Structure 1
Amino acid sequence: MATIEKLKTALQAASDKKAEEPVILDLRKLSALADFFLIISSSSDIHGRTIADEITKRLKEKGTIPLSVEGYDLGNWILIDYGDIIIHIFRPETRELYGLENLWIDAPRIEPVELLK
């Protein structure tokens, strides 16, 4: 599955489960770690797990499984690594504490609404 299609599927799944404040960082010219970060917020630990479940379910239906999933049991920061895309599902206070958007300030942002067109 192409990276952009994978990103669209993950974003749509998160949006359908009412994920909040999606941010997409384009890391292709900045890091070999991944091509994109998808950063979203959840309203509770259970909500975060629900979002993670939906993302992994939809991508699995398209033949893509994550390389790893971290933080699922705690739910305040769930990381789903697909190699080319890393998805971060945060509780708002954890997202603010770690400030990934600020750490990757040089990364271009892709508007989520533009990606879903």
Structure 2
Amino acid sequence: MQSTELKAFVIDKVEDIKAKDVVVLDVREKSNITDYMVICTGTSNTHLRAIADNVVRAAKAAGVEPLGVEGRDSNEWVLVDLGDVVLHVMQDAVREQFQLEKLWSEV
């Protein structure tokens, strides 16, 4: 799957589980680790895990093996690394604290 297709795929899957405030950052010119970061908010610990798990299951079913999943047990932030796309699912307070959108716009 091309990176732009994978980005659209991830957006579709997080929206299936009603993720809030979905933002896509194109970091191709700023990072050699990934092409896109998708950042979204979950409303509870269970919602965070459901969003991340939905993306992981759907990716595997589509033949895309995640490179890693971090934070499933943290209850505040889950990261799903799909190579060309990295998904950050965060609670509101954590998202405001880290301000990834602002951080990556200043790089």
Matching residue of 2:83: 83
Q: Give the deviation of 1:65 after TM superposition.
A: 1.3
Matching residue of 1:23: 23
Matching residue of 2:10: 10
Q: Give the deviation of 1:31 after TM superposition.
A: 1.2
Indicate yes or no: 2:41 matched with 1:41: yes
- Higher normalized contact order (CA 8 Å, seq sep 6+, divided by chain length): 1
Segments of 5+ residues of structure 1 without an aligned counterpart are: 108-117
TM-score normalised by length of structure 1: 0.87
The letter for the 2-side match of 1:48 is L
RMSD: 1.1
Identify which range, 52-61 or 35-44, moves more after superposition.
52-61
Residues of 2 paired with 1:22 and 1:44: CA distance?
16
The secondary structure found in structure 1 opposite 2:32 is coil
The question of whether the paired residues in 1 share the 8 Å contact of 2:6 and 2:84 is answered with no
Segments of 5+ residues of structure 2 without an aligned counterpart are: none
The secondary structure found in structure 2 opposite 1:47 is helix
Q: How many residues align?
A: 107
Q: Give the deviation of 1:82 after TM superposition.
A: 1.2
The secondary structure found in structure 2 opposite 1:105 is helix
The letter for the 2-side match of 1:100 is L
Q: Deviations over 1:81-100 (max 9, x none)?
A: 11211100000000000110
Q: Give the deviation of 1:106 after TM superposition.
A: 4.5
Matching residue of 2:70: 70
The secondary structure found in structure 2 opposite 1:96 is helix
The letter for the 1-side match of 2:39 is I
Which of structure 1's runs of 4+ aligned residues deviate more than 2 A? none
Matching residue of 1:99: 99
Residues of 2 paired with 1:50 and 1:78: CA distance?
10
Matching residue of 1:111: none
